[in-house]
Copies of this chain bind each other. A is one copy, B any other.
């Protein structure tokens, strides 16, 4: 990302030298030391994990408090844009506008592009429309969209009004695609040429046309209708003699991304086919943009990390999310669990007499329910992950179920043995030991079944298994745990 933008900007300043002047490594380029530190832990601002040091951040915060803005600038100047973006996340939210002000001319497009969504949204809302517009104008379409899509209608219109007609058109059309779709994340800057060109023609074309992007990894070959018919990795072009026609160089196989494809699907395609960039096409198959892997890596890690948060009901789960939003998404989940928990306690209530006659049961029953819950969560995590990775399909679903059952029997057997013996010895009551062992075994098997069948069913119903599975699984393991344990205790005549 950052490089691309950087090149675009420098290009505006000095079209002639576009590709090489102001390259990130330019001696007179503030960034230089910045990212070098990525490989030099001894840097004064980054620690060995490439995170900004606490002392450094404190120094910046102090300078901000003392309103010593020259000092702030001096401190921030050597940073790589990606680190400046991190810095914004590390200082308190009320310090961010002041920081942005102090380093105004370091607030390049790369910084904006790398900012966390929540932080950027707040910052953008604090800036006047014309400033936002000028930044958006310099950003790649996808980053400009990311910056504007969260603004409310009115602010959005205000900013768009300030923009160049061309940029505005690009952003408006991008915003016309569904959220989190390829149409929103694609960039319109790309190189597309007819197959009749030779390698030589292409190189000359690239050298002559300054308006072309300077950062791209593939050249797309299109037919007269501007439909992609092939793609050339730049390395293939560089390795071919000038006289070779592109139709001999290009790969006809390519993964075309429909503009309305969900970003999660796009990410899976990039992973599966090891793509660096891919052509985005509209309904009529025309090439309208490209998605590049550097944008996809962010989505891959978001989508993959998301499940941890969804399974726990932590919603968006970003530490920069406003407290009120976090509360409303989490509390809903807790209330849902409150209902399922009441169900479990209803089960216990059915056995009050039994408990009254043998209170020890009350002390042991949470173990049966709890372990069942753990076992269920394990199976659930494995299943949800496999579904997300498209590893688990109708073809191997039953094998997965059988597999989880075998593991459940092994786990159940082991745990039942341990708890059975322990209880027998501690309570000196073999009968009680037998009852809890049997209950534990049963509940862990039930847990395994619930852990794999519930997400599979939700997936079949086109619901996201990560979102609601765990409520159902814990409900099952809790209720069944108490039911089986207390039920057996009663039926077995353990309780005289």
Contact = CB atoms under 8 A, between A and B. Distances in A.
Given A240-B20, A255-B35, A297-B296, A399 B355 contact: no
B312 A298 contact: no
A297 B297 contact: yes
A338 B214 contact: no
A274 B294 CA distance: 5
Interface residues of A, number: 169
Nearest to A381: B312
A392 interface: yes
Contacts of A24: 251-253
A248 B20 contact: yes
Interface stretch (A123-131, A151-159, A173-181, A412-420): A412-420
Interface string A351-394: 01001100110111111011100110111111111101111111
A382 B238 contact: no
Nearest to A344: B366
Interface string A140-156: 00000000000000000
Task: Quickly give the copy total for this chain.
Answer: 2
A192 interface: no
Contact of A57 (B90, B212, B395): B395
Interface stretch (A44-52, A67-75, A101-109): A44-52
A236 B19 contact: yes
A463 B241 CA distance: 54
Contacts of A303: 301
Interface in A27-44: 27, 29, 31-32, 34-36, 38-39
A113 to B, nearest CB: 9
A271 interface: yes
A249 interface: yes
Interface string A216-245: 110000000000001101111111110010
Given A300-B304, A314-B381, A389-B305, A411 B203 contact: no
B249 A390 contact: no
A345 interface: yes
A396 B214 CA distance: 37
A161 interface: no
A319 interface: yes
Nearest to A307: B308
Nearest to A369: B366
Contacts of A482: 366
A172 interface: no
A337 B374 contact: yes
B297 A293 contact: yes
B301 A389 contact: yes
A122 interface: no
A242 to B, nearest CB: 9
A164 B346 CA distance: 70
A137 interface: no
A215 B237 CA distance: 10
A377 B206 CA distance: 54
Interface string A57-93: 1100000000000000000000010100010011010
B352 A395 contact: no
Contacts of A363: 345-346, 348-349, 352
Nearest to A7: B236
Contacts of A396: 89-90, 319
Interface string A295-329: 01110111111011101111001111001001100
A317 B385 CA distance: 8
A419 to B, nearest CB: 6
A362 to B, nearest CB: 4
Given A82-B273, A334-B444, 4 more contacts: A32-B253, A293-B297, A311-B381, A342-B367
